[in-house]
Amino acid sequence: MNKIIRTLIALASLGLVATTAHAETAFKPVVVDMAKVFENHYKTIEAYAKFTEYGQKVQEQLDGAGKQIQELGAQYQELVEQSRNIAIKPEARAQAEADAQKKGEQIQKLQNEAQGFRAKSQNQIQQRIKSHRDGLFEEINVVVKKIALTKGATMVFDKSLSPETGLPSVLYSADSYDITDEVLKEVNKDRPPAPPAPVPAPAAAATPAAAGVPAAPAPAPTK
């Protein structure tokens, strides 16, 4: 009887161990910092370089429009002053007033065009950024799932900062559960090689004065 009881207890213990082991393997989480992967993905670096270049071109056009508006504003002010100058003929004052009105309408049109161009450009860059983010996160998710499966993980947590709380969704995790670096290595494996550094230009030849040779005298002014 005692032998049977001991056998049953042993079997029960084995069952408990097996159940515990199964429970441990049934839930195996890993964590990844999606924001870090996104920001350090070579496609993000390339894309944001293009976004910056586009933004600079937009700003250059806006600066040009602003300069033109300033010049027209100065002309407008000059015409207004002429229209108020009692020292000139009434006909000239009337013409200056009419020209000032046309100049003001031209300025208003340019201002409206510049504002519309700014709004359109901002919307375009926002759409490009959103398209880039959405597409790249889909690519990153594929890599995350692939690496998680190779580790036998059953769940993946993102430890990026939450925009609502400013805290990561995973407040603590052992380093052994973090696959961020592995994901980064995988997504950047196809990164194109960096272009070769430009060859420095040869040093300019020394001018006569720099070389200690007296410079040739300047020609005498013509009369």
Tens-digit pLDDT string for the chain (223 aa)? 454 444 434 444 444 444 444 445 578 899 999 999 999 999 999 999 999 999 999 999 999 999 999 999 999 999 999 999 988 899 999 999 999 999 999 999 999 999 999 999 999 999 999 999 999 999 999 999 999 999 999 899 998 887 666 677 777 777 888 999 999 999 999 898 877 665 554 444 343 333 333 333 333 333 3
Residue 210 inside a domain? The answer is no
Provide the number of structural domains found in the chain.
1
Of 4, 37, 24, 51, nearest in space to 158 by CA: 37
Chain centroid to CA 170: how far? 26
Residue 148 inside a domain? The answer is yes
Structural domain for 63, as ranges: 27-187
- In 151-214, which residue ranges form alpha helices assigned H by DSSP? 180-187
> How much is the pLDDT for 19?
45
What's the 3-state SS for 54-104? HHHHHHHHHHHHHHHHHHHHHHHHHHHHHHCCCCCCHHHHHHHHHHHHHHH
How far is it, in rounded angstroms, from Cα 37 to Cα 188? 10
> How much is the pLDDT for 199?
53
Residue 8 inside a domain? The answer is no
Residue 5 inside a domain? The answer is no
Residue 74 inside a domain? The answer is yes
Residue 16 inside a domain? The answer is no
Q: In the beta sheet, which residues pair with residue 155?
A: 29
